């Protein structure tokens, strides 16, 4: 009797590209907000943009098979861990 391990299907490459493109755009927006001290309600915009970035990271983790951990919104340690795990799997943005 042979046991077959089910392989998870590879993610749709167009979906991967879409997430990578969005991650890049949102990461650029975070950096721009961090630099520009003249933006009205800057802290609010920065927080909202980081939440969007974290949501995209979570989507990327699902596609790449990276386990996510429950964490507080904006947890920089978890964000960094997910970024590193994705980079190790060949993701770039």
Q: d(Cα 53, Cα 59) in Å, to the nearest integer?
A: 10
Instruction: Count Cβ atoms within 10 A of the Cβ of residue 56 and give its class: 0-12 exposed, 13-18 middle, 19 or more buried.
Output: buried
Cβ neighbors of 87 (< 8 A, separation 6 or more) are none
Instruction: Reply yes or no on whether the pLDDT at 1 is more than 60.
Output: no
Q: d(Cα 42, Cα 32) in Å, to the nearest integer?
A: 11
Q: d(Cα 60, Cα 81) in Å, to the nearest integer?
A: 13
pTM of the model: 0.85
Q: What is the pLDDT of residues 9-30, one digit of tens each?
A: 788 999 999 999 999 999 999 9
């Amino acid at each position: 009797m042979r046991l077959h391990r089910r392989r998870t299907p590879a993610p749709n490459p167009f979906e991967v590209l879409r997430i990578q493109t969005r991650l890049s755009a949102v990461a650029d927006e975070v950096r721009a907000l961090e630099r520009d001290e003249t933006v009205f309600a800057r802290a609010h915009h920065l927080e909202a943009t980081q939440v969007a970035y974290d949501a995209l990271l979570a989507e990327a983790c699902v596609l790449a098979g990276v386990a996510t951990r429950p964490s507080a919104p904006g947890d920089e340690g978890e964000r960094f861990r997910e970024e590193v795990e994705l980079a190790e799997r060949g993701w770039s943005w």
